Structure 1
Amino acid sequence: MDQSVKFNLDLINRYDKSGPRYTSYPTALELHDGFSEQDYTQQIALSNARGGPLSLYFHIPFCDTVCYYCACNKIITKNREHAEPYLANLFKEIQLQGALFDSKRVVNQLHWGGGTPTFLDYGQMHRLMAAARQHFNLKEDDTGEYSIEIDPRATDDKTISQLRELGFNRISLGVQDFDPAVQQAVNRIQSEAQTFAVLEAARKEGFRSTSIDLIYGLPLQTVTSFSVTLDKILSVSPDRFSIFNYAHLPARFKTQRQINEKDMPSAEVKLDILQMIIRRLLEAGYVYIGMDHFAKPDDELAIAQRENKLYRNFQGYSTHSDCDLIGLGITSIGRVADSYVQNVKELAAYNVLISKGELPVFKGFVLNAEDQLRRAVITQLICHFSLSFSDIERIYNIDFKHYFSSELSALKIMRDDGLLVMNDDGIQVLAVGRLLIRNICMIFDAYLKSNTEQFSKVI
């Protein structure tokens, strides 16, 4: 498989618009409060009947400082004791959900996100993992994909050793930018020494994969300054990069209002930074996975993409398309059987439902046959940059060209612009079209409204 990507400024400007990131289809905007606990338990029963492995996501919402760019659901506090009531409820939810899933189903994938999961001390983390092992069938042979998001400011050698002992074998380190002025502007002061010490400790402890998170488009960033940050990260050669485009939406996210608008880089500068990023990472031997992700050619993500096994879920790209995903903790979203389900977002509501022995269901969505068909099309495109009409026809019993005649007609403009190739067999997205894969997927989105401003820009 060709895993290259090309930057074409003219096409990027022409297709510059907002659109979904397709961590799910339909997107989370379609989840509704008409979905009940009973609806969820029905989907769990269907999931058990189908069988297969599981994936667990735990949301740890606590941070001890606020990063002004953050759009996550978080609770800012320096007191670790504030996590105790939340953990008590989370343990009860683990018990409630664990009792509903077939205990023989193995957990192939586990992820702690936030917030800052390493806000928890070792005793708290140990109790949380013990609860997961008690109520779900976690692997004991280190073959699962058990990952955690790391803030190097809240982590040291001892923490890394403890995380490895608990069963984690993959870490993602938040960096964003090393430039002191940028760090000051977004209230995330983090030294290179802190970051690289954690990375080195993870390698010594035998973590199988290390990923670095960066953000471009932050205040005061320039091509030159971000290139310096990239130089420093490339010198330690992480397995993966996640390099996100900062979406400045202060009307929606209160903390972003603390960013000085005058310091924001222009759209032209952001594109120049992106072009530099792509060139530098490709020169360094990384391949473009899609969206904001790059990986070494021998990384499991890159291999899964070449083998047509890559998947996309609420945590991003994944190698475990066969897993039903169970979300645990406030605001978490799962995908079980034919549904998506989201937990309540507030601590008070979470506490009320858990104290009554009820699942903390907030919203959900049950996919119908057409939703599943369109999800399969979008997933293939966004993960593999290609689509076989015959594969879809065989699984969903349709005539692709007849069923999607209007969509194929709409794609002709993108074909003529050189984003993709279409023939009787299928669609192949070209290197120049891969940065615009969200635009291509949007053609197949039956829910997309004309007003897409609730989404981030595609580039």
Structure 2
Amino acid sequence: MIDVDIDLIKKYNVQGPRYTSYPTAVQFQDAGREDVEELHRYLVNRNSGPHRVSLYFHIPFCFSLCWYCGCNKVITKDQDRGDGYLDYLEMEMDQVAGLLHPDSEVVQVHFGGGTPTFLDPEQLQRLGEAIHSRFNLTGQTEFGVEIDPRRCTREHIQMLAAIGCNRASLGVQDTNEEVQQAIHRIQPFEQTCRVTEWLREVGISSINFDLIYGLPLQTLETFQKTMDDVLQLKPDRLAVYSYAHIPSMMPAQKLLNEEDMPSTDQKLGMLQLSISHLTENGYRFIGMDHFSREGEELTRAMDNGTLQRNFQGYSTLAGADLYAFGMSGISNVGNYYWQNTKDLAEYYEQLDENKAPVFKVLQLNQDDRLRKEVIMKIMCNMGVNFDAISSRWNIRFKEYFRDELERLREFEQDGLINVLPDRLVITEKGRLFLRNIAMCFDYYLNLKSSARRYSKTV
């Protein structure tokens, strides 16, 4: 059981990155023609040999606006727009497939959004066939999809299984009707139950539910009821996110009634409750917002040191080249990150001109790559082996990171870490503060000129 110290949570509950990448997306630079050409040359050279590949597909469309949401999305009820979007996804897939070595295997596919189940079953079939015809998927490929239970039929689920989907993540957020009305997302729990049953009927047995705490009208009692509701369905994983209210960056959030939002103490109580309640019911706290049941592969990966982190959260797959398709998708291959344009019309225009729809790009320097490894060790492996890093990067860890280790002293005094002669070890209590600990090693965040808006770390 993790000791949840509310005073420490208040102390360290500051703004900070989520570290689905390092450097974070705010460091990406506008991509000029020469940047895109240089990226293309890099990819051609890298793909002279085979690599493990991960594919992400962003489906931006939603039928209605959830007022808390900060995703890149397009609100429309016109399902025919899915056909046009698939035309362009196929064009982008052709660009990427032409770069890959023919022996490169796809180890992971993920559909995100928006709402992937905005696409009707026939459109999903078309997308699946387009992927299979261009890329080497195997019987071991991990294939996940994000599902909105409000917009999902049995035929959707049957088609997802037919194209190879074997994992699903259901957006639930909260099961209380008043909270659902307050966030403009009406989803009777029966819909969640029904979709979960359909998934298991077709053999998609690895299921995650997304919950959010800190929403308007939530209380400790209603949030515990939400957790009890979803626990009836025995999910393999749960992602329990802290609601980040940043209306200056996410205009839809201005529609929420701030007076109805829980106080800081109430919200921290929900965090405390979620950790204690879920761990008492057979789940392990992986870190950040993620829980997985005992024996599940995410839990095993945490125990054996193979846990990884990417733009979709925690994962068991390491080292794959990530290619993202669709508007706003972020790719990570070798020493490069790049992001597609966030504007749908511009995305179409770039592909019509046979251009890669690249909007932002970042080539990592050696310091970036070193710090990325250290930060990901903190986020995934509960510590850093100084000697291993020193040997791999030809540095003296304690000298290179002298200032960073000094910043960690307060964390050690608070019992969140132990700094040993040869390693940094994060305590169980420190698992709540992974973002804060990682921030000490973030070169860009610690620049005096840095002033970015992030969500709270806890």
TM-score norm. by structure 2 comes to: 0.97
Tell whether 2:422 aligns with 1:425: yes
Aligned-pair identity in percent equals 43
CA contact 2:338–2:361 (8 Å) conserved in 1 = yes
Residue from 334, 341, 345 that aligns with 1:344 = 341
CA contact 2:124–2:159 (8 Å) conserved in 1 = no
Cα offset for 1:387?
Answer: 1.1
Cα offset for 1:47?
Answer: 3.0
Residue from 355, 375, 380 that aligns with 2:377 = 380
CA contact 2:2–2:276 (8 Å) conserved in 1 = no
- Which structure has more relative contact order (CA 8 Å, sep 6+)? It is 1
Equivalence map 1:264-413=2 (5 Å): 264-413=261-410
CA deviation profile, 1:341-385 (whole Å, cap 9, x unmatched):
100111111111101111101001010111100000000000111
| Aligned counterparts of 2:452 and 2:216: Cα–Cα separation in 1 | 21
Larger deviation: 439-448 or 394-403?
394-403
Tell whether 2:28 aligns with 1:48: no
Match of 2:434 in 1: 437
Partner SS state of residue 305, structure 2: coil
Larger deviation: 326-335 or 309-318?
309-318
| Aligned counterparts of 2:114 and 2:31: Cα–Cα separation in 1 | 28
Partner SS state of residue 124, structure 2: helix
| Aligned counterparts of 2:257 and 2:102: Cα–Cα separation in 1 | 51
Tell whether 2:204 aligns with 1:207: yes
CA deviation profile, 1:142-171 (whole Å, cap 9, x unmatched):
x21100000011112222111111100000
Match of 2:105 in 1: 106
Match of 1:10 in 2: 7
Amino acid at match of 2:354: G
- Cα RMSD (Å) of the superposition? 1.2
CA contact 2:73–2:114 (8 Å) conserved in 1 = yes
Match of 2:57 in 1: 58
Amino acid at match of 1:54: V
CA deviation profile, 1:198-250 (whole Å, cap 9, x unmatched):
11111121114100000000000000011111111111110000011011111
| Aligned counterparts of 2:30 and 2:294: Cα–Cα separation in 1 | 43
Cα offset for 1:115?
Answer: 0.4
Amino acid at match of 1:21: R
Cα offset for 1:27?
Answer: 0.2
Amino acid at match of 1:334: S
CA contact 1:46–1:337 (8 Å) conserved in 2 = no
CA contact 1:43–1:336 (8 Å) conserved in 2 = no
CA contact 1:19–1:452 (8 Å) conserved in 2 = no
Cα offset for 1:399?
Answer: 1.0
Cα offset for 1:90?
Answer: 1.0
Amino acid at match of 1:81: D
User: What count of residue pairs does the alignment treat as equivalent?
Assistant: 454
Partner SS state of residue 408, structure 2: helix
CA deviation profile, 1:57-109 (whole Å, cap 9, x unmatched):
00000010110000001111111012222211111011111101112100000
Tell whether 2:183 aligns with 1:217: no
TM-score norm. by structure 1 comes to: 0.97
CA contact 1:74–1:114 (8 Å) conserved in 2 = yes
| Aligned counterparts of 2:279 and 2:335: Cα–Cα separation in 1 | 38
Tell whether 2:249 aligns with 1:252: yes
Match of 2:85 in 1: 86
CA deviation profile, 1:268-313 (whole Å, cap 9, x unmatched):
1100111111000010010011100000121111111212111111
CA deviation profile, 1:371-426 (whole Å, cap 9, x unmatched):
10000000000011111112111211111111111111221111111111111120
Partner SS state of residue 354, structure 1: helix
Partner SS state of residue 194, structure 1: helix
Cα offset for 1:452?
Answer: 5.1
Partner SS state of residue 345, structure 1: coil
| Aligned counterparts of 1:157 and 1:87: Cα–Cα separation in 2 | 22
| Aligned counterparts of 2:427 and 2:308: Cα–Cα separation in 1 | 20
CA contact 2:50–2:102 (8 Å) conserved in 1 = no
Match of 2:147 in 1: 150
Unaligned runs of 5+ in 1: none
CA contact 2:48–2:101 (8 Å) conserved in 1 = no
CA contact 2:14–2:456 (8 Å) conserved in 1 = yes
User: Where has structure 1 moved over 6 Å in runs of 4 or more?
Assistant: none
